[in-house]
Amino acid sequence: MQEPDSTLFPLDHLALRGDPSATALISRDRVLSYADLDQRVGALAAVLQAKGLKAGDRVASWLPKTVEACLMPLAAARAGLIHVPVNPALRKAQVEHILADSGASLLLTSETRASLIDPTICPIWDEQDAMAADAANGFVGASSGDPQALAAILYTSGSTGRPKGVMLSHANLWLGAVSVATYLGIEPQDRVLGVLPLSFDYGQNQLLSSWYAGAAVAPLDYLSARDVIKAVDRHGITTLAGVPPLWVQLLDANWPEAAAASLTRLTNSGGALTPTLIKAMRQTFPKARIFPMYGLTEAFRSTYLDPDLVDTHPTSVGTAIPFAEVLIVRADGSACAPGEPGELVHAGPLVAQGYWQDEERTAQRFKPAPPHSHYGGMAGWSGDKAVMDADGLISFIGRDDEMIKSSGNRISPTEIEEAAERSGVVRESVAIGVPDDRLGQAILLVAVGKGNDPEPKLRDWFRSELPAFMHPRDVIWCDELPRNPNGKLDRAALRQEFAA
């Protein structure tokens, strides 16, 4: 791979990347060229400045994937402000916490949504007013601010405790766009379908990396897998990103041959792709290259697996993406040997600036890089357990706080879940440790089944596939598993319900 350009610009310069006449954004009711994109970004930035906001103020948006919601990351940057995207799936208490915690000076939202929250928290900017912004009545040209300045605060969606705001600079977001566009090989003729929330770093990056590459992106709010299929077919989509629960839904649906064949690039993050899922993706999308990826908001994307290695290394998350350094270290910070599990540490310019107004949690997660780091500086200590093989390929084991400790054994939930899926009678599952007087923790599997009476078949499968200490003591069957607002399986909610 050719080394990507590391020259830094303020984030709003992404509006200038494509051919002015080429399509940049495909909305439900509007199509914007790159010339339109720059004009709309400049007009929105002018309205923001006219409202008396000063450099460094926070402006939040709480909307579905409207044109204005998609342009706010660039418009806020052009106006010298810090953008705080709020997931539209969040409820009153969570939204009010984010607005109050960030000290938002303005919230862009709809009249209906505005009526749901305390009006004294911050002023409201009605989306109808934003839609009416016209460059003829005010336009702000490309900015020239410091790329290291704060550009966005993305709030993570934990189920326990209040969301915490991850601080991202222009440089973080710009280099993230460069990196992803480079290793995915996105080109101007590509069309990217954006199904993930724009408040999720993976979802927002679909906009930014597409615009860096001069490609077109089509944001989509969907209710069912059928909505996604129709959008792929309608827009000739070449690139689709998802998280494992979404892939399960999409692979259960019926795909027209032409729609499936238009997809040449599939990417995954937010959880591991199992060998069973990969096989199904190969069968459904025969022309697509599959990119398994790993990352976390505090350090953006960290690794990707070369599609040519997916079949031979299906459980690996690959190697570091451009501008990222990924280290596997022992508790003392020294480098683990190949095959030796350790903590996954992220270094380099993609690492975030810490948590907004939270020095205590910042100090826990953001610490000096290990001495052998190439980049040095501040690193993101993930708390995730991983292992690197002799070829430098990384495999994710699990978060330390998710590991199951039973009879003196440390058991990866992922290993149990993958075995359950291979049985053929489980659609998806989550393994958690529950208190047990004799074992310390026993294994509970919460699963969505296939067919009639799947449990006897699953028990037989576990006996043939896994050692006895890894067998679930109990299996709870349900129609669906809980998901957090980003579409990931909500493991924390299940642990809170069953392991307390």
> Mean pLDDT throughout 186-213?
96
Distance of alpha carbon 444 from alpha carbon 442, whole angstroms: 7
Of 132-136, 151-155, 300-304, 485-489, give the lowest mean pLDDT range. 485-489
Is-contact 291 269, C-beta < 8 A?
A: no
What share of residues in the chain are helix, strand, coil (percent, to 5)? 35, 25, 40
Question: Is the pLDDT assigned to residue 208 strictly greater than 60?
Answer: yes
Q: 75 pLDDT band (50/70/90 cuts)?
A: very high
> Strands 289-296, 265-268: parallel, antiparallel or unpaired by DSSP?
parallel
pLDDT at position 160 over 70: no
* Residue 157: predicted pLDDT: 58
The string of DSSP letters for 350-363 reads TS---BTT-HHHHH
Within 372-415, strands assigned E span 378-388, 394-399, 404-406, 409-411
pLDDT, tens digit, 9 for 90 and up, residues 82-122: 999 998 988 888 899 999 999 999 999 999 999 999 999 99
State how far the Cα of 357 lies from the Cα of 360, in Å rounded to an integer: 9
Percentage of residues in the chain having pLDDT higher than 90: 76
pLDDT above 70 for 431: yes
Say if CB 352 and CB 298 are below 8 A apart: yes
Q: Token pair 């069953």 is at which residue?
A: 498
Dist. CA 106–CA 109, nearest whole Å: 10
d(CA 146, CA 249): 43
Report the pLDDT averaged over residues 183-196.
Answer: 97
* Confidence (pLDDT) at 159: 37
CA angle 257, 262, 265 (to 5 degrees): 125
Grade residue 467 by pLDDT with cuts at 50, 70 and 90.
confident
Instruction: Identify the pLDDT of residue 500.
Output: 67
Q: What are residue 396's DSSP bridge partners?
A: 386
Measured CA distances, 295 to 201, 291, 298, 317, 326 (Å): 10, 13, 8, 10, 10
% the chain with pLDDT above 70: 98
pLDDT of 328 reads: 97
Given a cut of 70, is residue 161 above it in pLDDT?
no
Separation between Cα atoms, residue 443 and residue 498, nearest integer Å: 11
Q: Give the pair of three-digit tokens for residue 407.
A: 């009879």
By the 8 A CB rule, do 46 and 133 touch?
yes
Token readout for 83 is 């953008």
Token pair recorded at residue 7 = 């020259």
Summarised one tens digit per residue, pLDDT across range 298-357 is 998 899 999 999 999 988 999 999 999 999 999 999 999 999 999 999 999 999 999 999
pLDDT reading at 286 higher than 50:
yes
Across the chain, what does the average pLDDT equal? 92
pTM for this predicted structure: 0.85
Confidence label for 243 from pLDDT (cuts 50, 70 and 90): confident
Which of the 8 DSSP states describes residue 135?
A: G
Tell me the CA end-to-end span of the chain in Å, nearest whole number: 48
Give 246-284 pLDDT, tens digit per residue: 898 999 999 999 999 999 999 998 777 888 889 999 999
205 — pLDDT class (breaks 50, 70, 90): very high
For residue 163, the model assigns a pLDDT of: 77
